[in-house]
Structure 1
Amino acid sequence: MTKVTSSHWGAFEVDVRDERIVATRPFAEDPHPSAIPDILPQAVHHRSRVSRPSFRRGWLESRERTGRGGDTFVELPWDEALDIAAAEIDRVRKAHGNEAIFGGSYGWGSAGRFHHAQSQVHRFLNTIGGYVSSFASYSTGCAQAIMPHVFGVPFLQLNYEHQDGWHTIAEHTETLVMFGGVNPKNSQVSMGGVTRHETAGWFETFAEKGMRCVNIGPQRTDAPDGCEWMAVRPGSDTALMLALAYVLETENLVDRDFLGRCTTGYDRFRPYLLGETDGLPKTPDWAAPLTGVAADTVRELARRMATTRTLITVAWSLQRGEHGEQPFWMSAVLAAMLGQIGLPGGGVGYGYGAIGGVGKSFKGLRGVTFSQGQNPVTKFIPVARAGDMLRRPGEAYDFNGRRDTYPDIRLIYWAGGNPFHHHQDLNALHEAWQKPETIIVNEPWWTATAKRADIVFPATTPYEREDIGRSNFDDYLFHMPQLIPPVAEARDDYQIFAGLAERLGKAQEFTEGRRAGEWLRVLYHAYQGMARDEGVEVPDYEALQEKNWVRLPIQMEGPNRTLFAPFREDPEGAPLPTPSGKIEIFSATIDGFGYDDCPGHPVWLPPSEWLGTATAAAPLHLVSPQPGDKLHSQLESALADVEGARPETIVIHPKDAARREITTGDLVRVFNARGACRARARVSDDILQGVVALPTGAWFGDPGTNVDPDGNPNVLTRDVGTSRLGQGCSAHTTLVEIARL
């Protein structure tokens, strides 16, 4: 049997024989298909699958907490396992209230819209009284806090609805200035799936047109071949942007009419830029030793930006560091000074290349959604502060103008995601993870998170259940058939939560009397009606099952009219939803928070760990990009079996390698005061001297391992917030040393 299914990394054909997935092939309509599905057959049937409901022995026998990660597990029948878990959930909510329950999920478990782990776990917890939730994501948490203050709209809405599409850029942009690059490797994936991978193809079009594309970052490979590379020190992008702005201001290249009509606060920012407030003019010569970029190079780029149609893009990675708010805010200020915001192919855009959906333009047609219900608990934390929450219950913290206290979490329920992949300082997280009374996980594989749980329910993969694949950022609609029976005793999340809800007297509230197959038809019927209201005809459910997939006529191939076009034309008649109605170069709201680590306008704030503070013990700046061979840590179990694939590869400059007598292929130890991991060296001049790059995604090792064996960079990263405003992930603020093993 051969069928097409969808995933976060795209659609692909699947061959099934004797109830096993035996091979995958690219989807015929994908011009640049991802190679990620190649490892899928091995991963789905891997020995690391969770076979039966499993209980950590120390918890089961005595409710002991401190053995997480090093204990053995006891398998129990489903009914007994659900009875025990339901009783424990009931005990915690009655003894401590629902504010003692943390509902963890990261949303990348499946491209299927009904069996969406985040929706399932949150709906279940809401039916039993709610849970402490988290705000935003590790990828964009800092940006989601700062950018609504600048433009007035939610950051992800800005990314997907109010930025120029690739067609517009190809037609109008003359200079593309990419802070952090635009990496086709990262655009392999997108929330809910990206069927046609087009990022690399668009850069071929840009090259044919003669567009000048400038990749500003520590790695040449962060942008496609043919782009200019301006090598810049990690963490110094704000200084470079300020130097560009200084040239625009002092050479009278600023669009003062636009600043006057469409922005507020330039009069507060300009004295800082010129050094009148702090005695430090932000000249290219000032920025050169900070950034590593020659002053004349900055002047030439600033002049070109001012005299051509210029689009500034900013990678999500720039806000994943200490003071990550500043480059995102400053890029908006720089674009406003150029006066091209609202012009096709000009202004500023965020996240191009971060995921495959950014840059695609579609008519507004939402996807299929399984309601999570309403959460009666209002308390939440910024997502990247989960470690602090466990370490410091009751302690006060600041976030985006609020002052709150961390909840006292007694029970964690995690479904969809692996925090021991994406959180920082994993050794510290391991210690904090011992504090809750109970941790329950739904998971297909024995990940580091599952190994550190007390109760592990074996969950199906997307290939063991029927679902509907549809993303707001894609023009394909899929029926995702059940390709194989559930492996061992795995059940889908809906079955697991329905069983728990029944035992807690909430079955009707959770299931509404429906099985999974009935829900699929109900949700699809609602989607069909919504599509019809938008003038889009989709087949009925049975026809979609037969067809397997359809392409929807919703793609916009001409220039898209963004939020900023009408605003530019008439800022009084079409104001932005900011307090001033304009782009806020100075924010009175942020200024009123009184945060010294995020004042009222963009400023240069050097990170605590970067090449400017390097020491003999930690002289190299570590960046941890997304992996190219998988999504986050998914499928890692099978990849780790590939000969030579693990430990993960770390890229190092030839001069740094020679100083340490390291050659390509050598096993190395990467370390600092927080931890150590193994890696396999690749020597390359495609990375800035003094910088090393180790991708994320290797599964974190077992407790007691002095050196993480497979190369997870988050044993090295700092678990501190970006600032009191954003409290985002600061993984890129990390210094390390490397030694040959």
Structure 2
Amino acid sequence: MTGIRYNAAHWGVYEVDPEQPGSPLSPWRNDPSPTPIGLDQRSAGVMNLRVTKPAIRASWRAAGHRATGAGRGAEGFVEIGWDEATDLIAAELERVRTAHGNQAIFGGSYGWASAGRFHHAQSQLHRFLNLAGGYTRSVDSYSLGAGRALMPEIVASMDDLSAGATSWDVIAHNTQLFVTFGGIPEKNAQVSPGGAGRHRVRGALRQAAAAGVRFVNLSPVRDNLDDTLAAEWVSIRPNTDTALMLALVHEIDRAGLADHAFLDRYCVGSDYFLTYVRGGIDGQPKTPAWAASITQVPERRIVDLAHEIATHRTMLNCAWSLQRASHGEQPFWAIVALAAMVGQIGLPGGGFAVGYGPMNAIGSAAPWLKGPTLDQGRNPVTAFIPVARIADMLLNPGAAFTYKGQGHTYPDIRLVWWAGGNPFHHHQDLNRLRQAFRRPETIIVQEQYWTPMARFADIVLPATTSLERNDIGFATREGLYVAMRRMADPPGEALDDHAILARIADRLGFGRAFTEGLDETGWLRRLYGQSRSKAAESGIPLPDFDDFWDQGLIDLSEFSSSQIAFSDFRADPLSHPLSTPSGRIEITSQRILSYALPDCPGHPAWMAPDEWLGADLSHAFPFHLISDQPARRLHSQLDHAELSRAGKIAGREPVHIHPADATARGIADGDIVELFNDRGRCLAGAVLSAHIMPGVLRLSTGAWADGDGPLDRHGNPNVLTRDRGASGFSQGCAALSCLVGIRRADHVPPVRAFDPPTFIA
């Protein structure tokens, strides 16, 4: 056995020397650009907010499911023993499924949970609930709601597009022009679900620039692309990228630069789409002059960029953030159409990606393997919601909604069970969400820390962290298997998610079915063995489990190989068809066209959002708010850690504002300011920056929600963002279509986000 123990987390692999008790975590020695996120997981500030015993909201303990939800988030908790907690939960679950049916149970469990493949809260909870008779589930993600719904219809699934992206080495050797809509933010690429290995994006970008690749960054902010790349920054109004892409298509078409042979062989629907671009459907040609008035990108730059794209080997990149907006499907669809117009899809260094930057693994040349996965069983309940529609569901039981062209109905939820996530980070319009979460009769949360979601629960169960259990770390395209050996004892009475659910399953009579008679080591052996067999089918030999566990880490970098997205499809589209209805790239989708949705037509189209800088509402709220991924944490994970707190201003999240906008409002660097609109208000610390265009504010997500009314004291932007689906097709998150005002704060109450809850003896 090696002298080092390893742990995999979403933001990297850590080492610790077990021979030195209390030694700190260190980044994996072979990581060329490790992130500091997570190194302070065992610090006092983090551990002080651990959930250490089962706890129950005071009024719920007195009245059970008859207690009003009005006290959620404000009442104190009573700590109880595991036996009482297990009995209460088993009885409540039995009551709900008997009286209301299993579709009245919502298995929330949305979030990144643990990087471990066995102790993965979502998988464990879903397995448990399926054995209990099923539950209402959610589909898609807040990050990719519009993209996950759309892309399989027109080109490929998001998982295939991410894992199959052209590798960075191919870009360095072949790409001449790299045009990115929304940048390639390295802060986002610090993470991969299942665990980042070698952080590669910074080095890959610099290698490409050194090889002569020219970068153009079309974005409202400059610093979402490495400053050392000498990239051209073209500032563009938020939410207008689709208009720009359509204008680029128009100019390429007008100049006779389109590759019609590619369109005819590999695509369907290009003629109908070009009729729209030329103005034959709505009477408005999508010219560079038209787009310039919408995007504020100069007409001449649009014309020149179109010619540059068509006459160079060009990689077009689209950040995930672009589809987190009203009509979020359109920029993803438009970039596929733009790439098809120049005919470089499937060529080395050309085509498109959606996109480089959101995760470390995208662009990796590591082998494409399926890692260990816990079997969740079959869910007999058919009811579901798109994940970002949870408040709609809780507030409007029985109401109709559409998803991917089909009509559905929201179920009547009586019990919410959450594990491995924090909706008070992910969701929009948090004041509305608080109202929604007061509706269910019971909320159960499995958590490690006293997060805002834990405080809003009726019953809170203490869960271990990945440092306090044994597991297997693996992420697609990261090229590592990590033996995650337990590094620390759990605090208090915290248990693994599997152990928690096994206790309750045993009370309900299906404990044996849930555990299958296996202990933790038995499950790890099974999962690793299944993954080992799959690796062998791909020609990659893995050691047996005991050798793997002793070795601690398996590095598969020797099996890396260059990759070109869609190269097989380009070589022979008949032998290697796409998974779309036609087997080809659907620039116009007859299926989506048949749905006749007013907010998602059958081809890429410009539709103005309700909230953007060209809307009438901008007269009252003149700033477009960008709520992006933070640099010092993953979403809201470890916001209470020292690294995250060190980036705050007077304990509040920083908001970036252009100096001219700040001066006009009497705002100085470091001032506490108030952002506001009709949905809510929040406080933040002002940071003046010329890297953001005038009329735009940037307030990153992830500050733990801290408010009991319209005001958030800590700087959570989702008290301001709009809770409405991207379209009737995807119902995805549209957080980045948001207008706000800003002013210096007159009253600055203290931040209480990290105060522990009140406990009642």
Per the TM superposition, whether the score is higher than 0.5 is yes
Residues 393 and 407 in structure 1, CA contact (< 8 A), matched pair in contact too: yes
Q: Does 1:204 align with 2:209?
A: no
Q: Please give the root-mean-square deviation of Cα atoms over the aligned residues, in Å.
A: 1.6
Q: Does 1:625 align with 2:628?
A: yes
- How far, CA to CA, are the matches of 2:557 and 2:663 in structure 1? 55
Equivalent residue number for residue 752 of structure 2: none
Equivalent residue number for residue 679 of structure 1: 684
Q: 1:7 to 1:471 in 2, by over 3 A?
A: same
- How far, CA to CA, are the matches of 1:709 and 1:16 in structure 2? 41
Q: Does 1:272 align with 2:276?
A: yes
Residues 194 and 473 in structure 1, CA contact (< 8 A), matched pair in contact too: no
- How far, CA to CA, are the matches of 1:336 and 1:583 in structure 2? 8
- How far, CA to CA, are the matches of 2:44 and 2:192 in structure 1? 20
Q: Does 1:240 align with 2:248?
A: no
Q: Does 1:39 align with 2:40?
A: yes
- How far, CA to CA, are the matches of 2:74 and 2:612 in structure 1? 35
Residues 167 and 564 in structure 2, CA contact (< 8 A), matched pair in contact too: no
- How far, CA to CA, are the matches of 1:17 and 1:732 in structure 2? 48
- How far, CA to CA, are the matches of 2:683 and 2:557 in structure 1? 49
Equivalent residue number for residue 13 of structure 1: 15
Equivalent residue number for residue 189 of structure 1: 191
Moved more, 360-369 or 378-387: 360-369
Tell me by how many angstroms 1:286 deviates. 0.7
1:591 to 590, 593, 598: 593
Could you list the per-position Cα deviations for residues 568-588 of structure 1 after superposition, in whole angstroms to 9, with x for gaps in the alignment?
233344332322222111111
- How far, CA to CA, are the matches of 1:414 and 1:680 in structure 2? 32
- How far, CA to CA, are the matches of 1:239 and 1:2 in structure 2? 53
* Consecutive unaligned residues in structure 2, runs of 5 or more: 746-761
Q: Does 1:727 align with 2:731?
A: yes
Q: Does 1:228 align with 2:228?
A: no
Equivalent residue number for residue 30 of structure 2: 29
Q: What amino acid is aligned across from residue 606 of structure 1 in structure 2? A: A
Residues 633 and 699 in structure 1, CA contact (< 8 A), matched pair in contact too: yes
- How far, CA to CA, are the matches of 1:416 and 1:43 in structure 2? 22
1:439 to 428, 435, 443: 443
Could you list the per-position Cα deviations for residues 213-242 of structure 1 after superposition, in whole angstroms to 9, with x for gaps in the alignment?
111111101111122111111000000001
Residues 232 and 291 in structure 1, CA contact (< 8 A), matched pair in contact too: yes
Residues 52 and 458 in structure 1, CA contact (< 8 A), matched pair in contact too: yes
- How far, CA to CA, are the matches of 1:45 and 1:543 in structure 2? 34
Corresponding residue SS for 1:499: helix
- How far, CA to CA, are the matches of 1:483 and 1:170 in structure 2? 40
Equivalent residue number for residue 308 of structure 1: 312
Equivalent residue number for residue 385 of structure 2: 381
Q: What amino acid is aligned across from residue 620 of structure 1 in structure 2? A: F
Corresponding residue SS for 2:9: coil
Residues 52 and 492 in structure 2, CA contact (< 8 A), matched pair in contact too: yes
Equivalent residue number for residue 494 of structure 1: 498
Q: Does 1:546 align with 2:550?
A: yes
Equivalent residue number for residue 340 of structure 1: 344
Tell me by how many angstroms 1:539 deviates. 2.4
- How far, CA to CA, are the matches of 1:579 and 1:668 in structure 2? 51
Q: Does 1:637 align with 2:634?
A: no
Could you list the per-position Cα deviations for residues 688-714 of structure 1 after superposition, in whole angstroms to 9, with x for gaps in the alignment?
11000000000011423x421111000
Tell me by how many angstroms 1:280 deviates. 1.3
Equivalent residue number for residue 700 of structure 1: 705
Corresponding residue SS for 1:717: coil
Equivalent residue number for residue 352 of structure 1: 356
Counterparts of residues 422-501 of structure 1 (less than 5 Å)? 422-501=426-505
Residues 368 and 477 in structure 2, CA contact (< 8 A), matched pair in contact too: no
Residues 92 and 411 in structure 1, CA contact (< 8 A), matched pair in contact too: yes
Q: Does 1:137 align with 2:141?
A: yes
Could you list the per-position Cα deviations for residues 182-220 of structure 1 after superposition, in whole angstroms to 9, with x for gaps in the alignment?
111100000101110010101111111111111111110
- How far, CA to CA, are the matches of 1:424 and 1:434 in structure 2? 16
Q: 1:737 to 1:43 in 2, by over 3 A?
A: farther
Residues 719 and 730 in structure 1, CA contact (< 8 A), matched pair in contact too: yes
- How far, CA to CA, are the matches of 2:244 and 2:530 in structure 1? 50
Tell me by how many angstroms 1:2 deviates. 5.7
- How far, CA to CA, are the matches of 2:520 and 2:625 in structure 1? 45
Tell me by how many angstroms 1:622 deviates. 0.1
Residues 367 and 479 in structure 2, CA contact (< 8 A), matched pair in contact too: no
Corresponding residue SS for 2:130: helix
Tell me by how many angstroms 1:541 deviates. 2.4
Residues 46 and 638 in structure 2, CA contact (< 8 A), matched pair in contact too: no
Q: What amino acid is aligned across from residue 596 of structure 1 in structure 2? A: P
Residues 142 and 727 in structure 1, CA contact (< 8 A), matched pair in contact too: yes
Equivalent residue number for residue 748 of structure 2: none
Residues 611 and 618 in structure 2, CA contact (< 8 A), matched pair in contact too: no
Could you list the per-position Cα deviations for residues 96-138 of structure 1 after superposition, in whole angstroms to 9, with x for gaps in the alignment?
1110011111251111111011110000001110111111111
Residues 347 and 564 in structure 2, CA contact (< 8 A), matched pair in contact too: no
Equivalent residue number for residue 669 of structure 2: 664
Q: What amino acid is aligned across from residue 312 of structure 2 in structure 1? A: T
Tell me by how many angstroms 1:535 deviates. 2.4
Tell me by how many angstroms 1:590 deviates. 0.4
- How far, CA to CA, are the matches of 1:519 and 1:236 in structure 2? 49
Q: What amino acid is aligned across from residue 171 of structure 2 in structure 1? A: I
Tell me by how many angstroms 1:554 deviates. 5.7
Could you list the per-position Cα deviations for residues 151-176 of structure 1 after superposition, in whole angstroms to 9, with x for gaps in the alignment?
1x322212212x21111111111111
Equivalent residue number for residue 103 of structure 2: 99
Could you list the per-position Cα deviations for residues 530-561 of structure 1 after superposition, in whole angstroms to 9, with x for gaps in the alignment?
32333222222222232221212564343x24
Q: What amino acid is aligned across from residue 629 of structure 1 in structure 2? A: R
Tell me by how many angstroms 1:43 deviates. 6.6
Q: What amino acid is aligned across from residue 209 of structure 1 in structure 2? A: A
Q: Does 1:287 align with 2:291?
A: yes
Q: 1:615 to 1:117 in 2, by over 3 A?
A: same
- How far, CA to CA, are the matches of 1:368 and 1:621 in structure 2? 42
Equivalent residue number for residue 421 of structure 2: 417
- How far, CA to CA, are the matches of 2:533 and 2:366 in structure 1? 18
Could you list the per-position Cα deviations for residues 444-499 of structure 1 after superposition, in whole angstroms to 9, with x for gaps in the alignment?
11110000000000000111111111112211111111111111110010010000
Equivalent residue number for residue 162 of structure 2: 159
Could you list the per-position Cα deviations for residues 558-610 of structure 1 after superposition, in whole angstroms to 9, with x for gaps in the alignment?
3x244x22322333443323222221111110011010100111110011001
Q: Does 1:328 align with 2:332?
A: yes
- How far, CA to CA, are the matches of 1:97 and 1:195 in structure 2? 44
Q: 1:370 to 1:449 in 2, by over 3 A?
A: same
Q: 1:365 to 1:654 in 2, by over 3 A?
A: same
Counterparts of residues 559-598 of structure 1 (less than 5 Å)? 560-562=563-565, 564-598=566-600
- How far, CA to CA, are the matches of 2:648 and 2:512 in structure 1? 51
Could you list the per-position Cα deviations for residues 265-297 of structure 1 after superposition, in whole angstroms to 9, with x for gaps in the alignment?
122111211112222111111111210100000
Q: Percent identity?
A: 48
